[in-house]
Amino acid sequence: MQIIRRLEVLREALGQFTQAGESVALVPTMGALHAGHMALVDAARRRAPRVVVSIFVNPKQFGPNEDLARYPRREAADAQMLSEAGVDILWAPEVEEMYPAGFATNVSVAGVSDVLDGAHRPGHFDGVATVVGKLFGQVGPAVALFGEKDFQQLVVIRRMTADLNLAVEIVGVPTQREDDGLALSSRNIYLDETERARAVALPRALGEAKRGIERGDDPATALAAAVAMLTRAGFDTDYVTLVDAETLTAPIRGRPARLLAAARIGTTRLIDNIAVTFD
């Protein structure tokens, strides 16, 4: 596996794939890799003969009071995992390479970026869309893979890709979970033992709400019960909501729907989501 930090070197390596007629699958990450990321890599290997994984802790998607400084960074261990998984290129640019002096462009996806996490983290999805747009331009993938755990991010990227007529297939990969149901996340490392034990209330609350909605309970009642369950477990809830899976607006019966939640336990903010049949 090549570890590349300069754009001109990346383009040279990718040019060799192009000459050989080999397409590329891209897995964008911020590092601190876990089994969820490796599921993306496995899916990428089934989609294209060449796989590029990026590791870039993107400062543009962190707010002023968020965890940019302490976000876990362990490139050596990540690189070992990727090499063993058969990745061809680890693209790991420095901030100055991604955003050189004079960089002035911002990609903003209206509507789907403005609600839920967008409302609680202003500017976050502009940072996501900008860096993903840059990665698509740098790597030129035929397909890019993203985890469904960050479901709103996936919706934003799909909207951006469609609106800009980008020739990249966007693939969502199902959320990977611990045995007790907690969604895998690089931020789980922040949880102490007590918080980790209580954190399982998040997927359980969503599961209870899903079952209630699918058996015909009033969605508002099911969502309120989920918030109450999280509160009892020690969470401070930002939102638990049911939305249309494509537009993130009010759900319409007969269309794919999604339950999404964000809540903080201690100093750690966790997100999760599950699909719901809303007939």
Q: Which of the residues are catalytic?
A: 37
What SS3 state is found at 266? coil
Compute the distance between CA of residue 148 and CA of residue 224 in angstroms, rounded to an integer: 24
Task: Report the interhelical angle of 7-19 vs 124-139 (nearest 10°).
Answer: 50
Compute the distance between CA of residue 211 and CA of residue 128 in angstroms, rounded to an integer: 32
Compute the distance between CA of residue 46 and CA of residue 28 in angstroms, rounded to an integer: 16
* CB distance 227 to 81 below 8 Å: no
Compute the distance between CA of residue 10 and CA of residue 12 in angstroms, rounded to an integer: 5
* CB distance 184 to 178 below 8 Å: yes
Cα separation values, 129 from 110, 188, 205, 220, 224, Å: 11, 24, 30, 31, 32
